Structure 1
Amino acid sequence: MPFTKRLIVALVLATATAAFAAPTGTAQQAASAQCANRETPPPPVDTSEQPAPGQKAPTPLEVPEKPIGGDRLGECGLILPPNSAQPPSGITAASWLLADIDSGAVIAAYDPHGRQRPASVIKVLLAMVVAKELRGDLVVTASAEDTQQECTCVGLKDGGQYTVRQLLQGLLLTSGNDVAHTLARQLGGVPNALRKMNAMAKELGALDTRAVTPSGLDAPGTSTSAYDVALIFRGAMKYDEFAQAIKLQQAQFPGRNGGTIMLTNDNRLLASYQGAIGGKTGFTDDSQHTYVGAAERNGRRLVVVLLRGQQQPTHITNQAAKLLDYGFAMGPGGVGKLVDGAPQPKPKVTSTQENTETSNDTAATTSDTGRPSPTAFGTVGLPITAAAGIGLLAAILLYIRNKRAKAARARRQAAQAAQGV
């Protein structure tokens, strides 16, 4: 083969080696760019998310390099197992997900990691932190600030005393924003409660979620996803105080003027859906209608999440019921998994000798996901760069060798010519 062709082949091989390494990262980045809500929820429709004067809006949460729960969950359209029936018609949610609570299998979904606003379903995360940290019989005194929250409200009384168990019931049955503020104060104040809620979300692997108010009222930086809400609900159901409160259809609560009042659960499925074991509704102008709920049939427990849905032509809880029916009719297979915790960084291997090159290897791994960061040759990193370098080096050596051979031939021909003169 002529030298020029050999050189071209070597260079092409070197370039192709690097190019084929890139699709893992670049294809996902391209797919993310096509998903409208991969980084942030849709623009707000009112002024609720405008930063306070002198403050900047929080930066969007980082998007994990690989979708939490499985590669298919990074898709932003309809995600079904092979040969599955189509989901029921009339589902208005911009994002939804069906999963098995016990196995963690995600049965079906639509844009599961698309970032939306939670509204009051974020109270499930607050309730989970409360159930973890506070005794149910602990007595809490309400403050004037608690009673002045933007409602929906249970109707707390300034100076009124309530057990944590009663407050949890008010939080989950009637979505009391006054109760959410009271419980946040008991957790060390609203900023501290939010830190605990977000730390809990991160621990679970709910990396699309950022709570910015304990009640779910919209504020700058709020974010969650259908996948995360299912993950949080699944985690909360492991706490008995939460599981007992969320399934109550009614509960007695201390009245403002003495005596008791009756709280009625606003989750319609408790009374209308066979096997319903609890759920939480939510609404704001920016989030639209949100819902998470669960049901059990024949020993199988499913959770359904709908975000940014509409009440017409079908109420959001009825849409949830249709999806639950659909899920119970499907087999145990799935398209992904509810993880049992956030991805952990890979353990570092410490050499007995100092080596400055290890800093390059360490830099290629992110602390949040433990996965390689994209490099100039995609996400495969140093091995591919080395392979490309070797190919290029081979081409250079081939060029030098050929040049020297030509020079030697020229010298021999000159000597022969001189002898013949």
Structure 2
Amino acid sequence: MNQLHTPNTSRNQDTGRLSFMESVSPPRFGAFARGGLSRRYTRRVSLSGSRSMATPCTFPTVPALRKTVMTVLSAALLSVCVLSPAAAADKDKPGDKQPKPTGPMSTVGGKRLGEIGTQVELGPGAPVLPKDLTARSWIVADAENGEVLASHNSHWRLPPASTLKMLFADTVLPALQPTTTHLVTEDELAGVGEGSSLVGVKEDYTYTVHDLWLGVFLQSGNDAVHVLSSMYGGVDATVAAMQRHADELQALDTRVVSPDGYDSPKQVSSAYDLTLFARSGMQKADFREYAATATAQFPGEKKKGKKRQSFGIQNTNRLLTGADGVEQYQGIAGVKNGYTTHAGNTFTGIAERDGRVLLVTVMNPSSDVSHAVYKEAASLLDWGFAASGKVTPVGTLVPPKSAVTEAGKGTEPDAGTTPAAAAGKQAAAASASPAGSGVWTALSVVAGVLVVLAAGAYLVNRRWPLPDLVRRLPRR
């Protein structure tokens, strides 16, 4: 089994990155053996030159009642935002020749997210958006409470490239044990598209699931994706499962044709949907650990008379590695980049700073600047951290359908409908009851309010991502 390469950990700490990601590799000795585990291995984070960070995440805690009140108030404020016009700040420049959506966009997450152009509501002291943003679509959102701080054509359906692998991993990762070994066949690699990014999987060689996921996350290997798809039940079954999972996440802009994001007719997603995939995936321990891995060793070929060797691979997310002249971003923790001819450059990233965790997605910047997708993502993250608490959200990242159904005890509001709006509908229905049903009317109104409060409390208490996403370093 190949262990993750760790020297970059200390370098990341030197640049200020919080090392809250635990090793995805099992222990080198003892419980782990290729092909199986005698017991589920445990993970622990050890920081170079400091004590072990085994303490839980220290997200701020808020009393349950206060959380509920805050949720209802936030829903009401969001409703007001939806009715207000787009902010004049950072409007599209006159004569801008950049392509724009040609048809109506989805309003999942809020009406303003379906409007063309930049959506932002700057408050007192809020910084203006970065200049010279060229991406066709982008979004900046709070990963924990789901607030969309600003967006630009966030529901525009565009080719996603390899960022679609986030949905692939979020769908398939839970179904396959990392220690399972697999002998690769010629047929499993036959469907890999011409010109695909590859990690170097070879037929007639054995790999563990862990090896293959390293190939997916670090090298964006379409060869590894196809082998894992075969292990999951085949490419067609994988595509169908990915589409079902996208629908469950309310990522309704997404149509899956290939599991690896390879350019395919009618395969599309959006900045909004890609952000939902990242948010969902980062709640899975293995997903976020792979996504945060900078370098690793991958099994190579076996030369005659010699033991099988491995070779080093590096994550293609340059904000994570600081490679090719792109400055490593402080607090970065993944997630995925991509490129194809039709999609251009795409990128979704997550970062933590000063107690906040932000997600950003950038799709197809038209700038001729080298590595523009990373530079625009970094500038949007900088803006988001500076603007947090100083802007009125223009929308929200919706929870999965199952979460909404559970919170509403069997009732599921339309995508993008706020709890406050749902309560208003119930109250209106109650007020329309016959005159002789006053008691039932009152009970209906109370029930509607209780449903909203219960849903609000559930969604606030359900942390996005899970509490162990971030482990704070002690301040010096």
TM-score, with structure 2 as normaliser:
0.59
**210, 215, 223: which one pairs with 1:170?**
215
For 1:273 and 1:370, how far apart are their aligned partners in 2? 32
Aligned partner of residue 135 in structure 2, secondary structure? coil
Matched, 1:264 2:325: no
**312, 317, 326: which one pairs with 2:383?**
326
For 1:90 and 1:166, how far apart are their aligned partners in 2? 40
CA change 1:210–1:368 in 2 (3 A) is farther
Could you tell me which residue of structure 2 aligns to residue 142 of structure 1? 184
Residue deviations 1:228-268 (CA, integer Å, cap 9, x gap)? 00011000001111110000110111013321111100111
Could you tell me which residue of structure 2 aligns to residue 71 of structure 1? 111
Does the 8 Å contact 2:263/2:342 carry over to 1? yes
Could you tell me which residue of structure 1 aligns to residue 101 of structure 2? 36
Could you tell me which residue of structure 2 aligns to residue 155 of structure 1? 200
For 1:338 and 1:369, how far apart are their aligned partners in 2? 10
**347, 352, 357: which one pairs with 1:301?**
357
For 1:279 and 1:231, how far apart are their aligned partners in 2? 12
Matched, 1:108 2:150: yes
Could you tell me which residue of structure 2 aligns to residue 317 of structure 1? 374
CA change 1:154–1:311 in 2 (3 A) is farther
**343, 349, 367: which one pairs with 1:287?**
343
Q: Any stretches of 5+ residues in structure 1 without a counterpart?
A: 1-23, 25-33, 40-62, 350-365, 372-379, 384-421
CA change 1:347–1:241 in 2 (3 A) is closer
For 1:298 and 1:85, how far apart are their aligned partners in 2? 17
Aligned partner of residue 312 in structure 2, secondary structure? strand
Residue deviations 1:113-162 (CA, integer Å, cap 9, x gap)? 11111000000111111222111212222221334423211111102111
For 2:121 and 2:233, how far apart are their aligned partners in 1? 45
**223, 229, 234: which one pairs with 2:274?**
229
Q: Any stretches of 5+ residues in structure 2 without a counterpart?
A: 1-81, 83-98, 303-307, 322-327, 418-424, 429-476
**114, 121, 124: which one pairs with 1:81?**
121
For 1:369 and 1:318, how far apart are their aligned partners in 2? 32
For 2:153 and 2:297, how far apart are their aligned partners in 1? 39
CA change 1:274–1:311 in 2 (3 A) is same
Aligned partner of residue 328 in structure 1, secondary structure? helix
Which amino acid letter does the alignment assign opposite residue 324 of structure 1?
Answer: L
For 2:396 and 2:213, how far apart are their aligned partners in 1? 29
For 1:86 and 1:195, how far apart are their aligned partners in 2? 42
Matched, 1:335 2:394: yes
Does the 8 Å contact 1:76/1:113 carry over to 2? no
TM-superposed CA distance for 1:277, in Å, is 0.3
Aligned partner of residue 162 in structure 2, secondary structure? helix
Could you tell me which residue of structure 2 aligns to residue 50 of structure 1? none
Alpha-carbon RMSD across the aligned residues, in angstroms, is 2.9
Aligned partner of residue 207 in structure 2, secondary structure? strand
For 1:367 and 1:104, how far apart are their aligned partners in 2? 17
Aligned partner of residue 286 in structure 1, secondary structure? coil
Residue deviations 1:324-371 (CA, integer Å, cap 9, x gap)? 10111012342111111137699999xxxxxxxxxxxxxxxx998699
Does the 8 Å contact 1:344/1:368 carry over to 2? no
Does the 8 Å contact 1:266/1:281 carry over to 2? yes
CA change 1:124–1:225 in 2 (3 A) is same
Does the 8 Å contact 2:161/2:339 carry over to 1? yes
Aligned partner of residue 375 in structure 2, secondary structure? helix
Q: Which moved more, 1:332-341 or 1:219-228?
A: 332-341
**211, 217, 230: which one pairs with 2:256?**
211
CA change 1:310–1:297 in 2 (3 A) is same
How many residues matched?
303
For 2:145 and 2:410, how far apart are their aligned partners in 1? 31
Could you tell me which residue of structure 1 aligns to residue 231 of structure 2? 186
For 1:132 and 1:344, how far apart are their aligned partners in 2? 22
Could you tell me which residue of structure 1 aligns to residue 175 of structure 2? 133
Residue deviations 1:48-94 (CA, integer Å, cap 9, x gap)? xxxxxxxxxxxxxxx65xx1111111112101024343311232210
Q: Larger C-alpha radius of gyration, 1 or 2? A: 1
Does the 8 Å contact 1:146/1:156 carry over to 2? no
For 2:277 and 2:115, how far apart are their aligned partners in 1? 21
Which amino acid letter does the alignment assign opposite residue 262 of structure 1?
Answer: G
Aligned partner of residue 253 in structure 1, secondary structure? strand
Could you tell me which residue of structure 2 aligns to residue 96 of structure 1? 138
Residue deviations 1:162-207 (CA, integer Å, cap 9, x gap)? 1212211110111101011111111110010001111111101100
Does the 8 Å contact 1:37/1:116 carry over to 2? no
TM-score, with structure 1 as normaliser:
0.66
Aligned partner of residue 228 in structure 2, secondary structure? helix
Aligned partner of residue 121 in structure 1, secondary structure? helix
For 1:330 and 1:265, how far apart are their aligned partners in 2? 29
For 2:291 and 2:410, how far apart are their aligned partners in 1? 43
Identity %: 36
